[in-house]
Amino acid sequence: MTTAIRLVLIDDDPLVRGGLQLMLGGDPALEFVAEGSDGDEAVGLVTEHSPDIVLMDIRMPRMDGLTALAEVNALPNPPKVIILTTFDADDMVLRALAGGAAGFLLKDTPPPRMIEAIHQVAAGEHTLSPTIIAQVIQLATSQGVSPKRDAARAELAELTTREHDVALLIGQGMTNAEIARAQYMSVATVKAHVTRILEKLGMTSRVQIALKVHDAELDDPTPG
């Protein structure tokens, strides 16, 4: 029997917590082990229950999701953190992604997509829908964040040609399967390239790769 993915849910709105548990409760592979109403509770609940994944709102009283993310990531053997938000135009979003959030979901994400995202993160992937990647990049641009083009290009130049191409396609919001089709390789090979890219760039998520590609202002990769 497959071990359930243990979840801790942190959101200051009890209706949201109840709705999410109801929405995700149909998947027997997901188990909610605790819930809390702010980031301060998150650290204690993670320490007590050792979950696999924390679903956490970014805007909360006392300790917000951004501060809690940093504290959770500082714990021994920390769980993956998926940030939940209504996606206000807010630099906390960018900072959460740069801070190592494993996923980023809108609260109105359809249940099947949210369940899929949780399973992907539990399997060690860092995925984000193309729509949200586009919104994050637009937010970065609209807030006047410096692209740091030369520095970003220098970092990406450390990659092999194939890793570089994979990174650019991640920047377009492609999934591993889509990259495999575009580059005529297996999904397993794509995953291996993604792992090496993350290691070489000192990153923890695909979103960070996408933002780095955006900073570099590079053209699309050559197919194959």
Residue ranges of the chain that CATH labels 1.10.10.10: 147-216
pLDDT band at 211; cut points 50, 70, 90: confident
The mean-pLDDT minimum among 50-59, 121-130, 166-175, 183-192 falls in 121-130
Residue ranges of the chain that CATH labels 3.40.50.2300: 5-124
Q: What is the 3-state secondary structure of 130-191?
A: HHHHHHHHHHHHHCCCCCCHHHHHHHHCCCCHHHHHHHHHHHCCCCHHHHHHHHCCCHHHHH
How large a percentage of the chain has pLDDT more than 70? 83
What's residue 131's pLDDT?
57
Amino acid, res. 156 = L
pLDDT, greater one: 192 or 104 = 192
What's residue 48's pLDDT?
94
What's residue 89's pLDDT?
46
pLDDT band at 9; cut points 50, 70, 90: very high
CATH code that applies to domain 5-124: 3.40.50.2300
> Under CATH, which architecture does the 147-216 domain have?
Orthogonal Bundle (1.10)
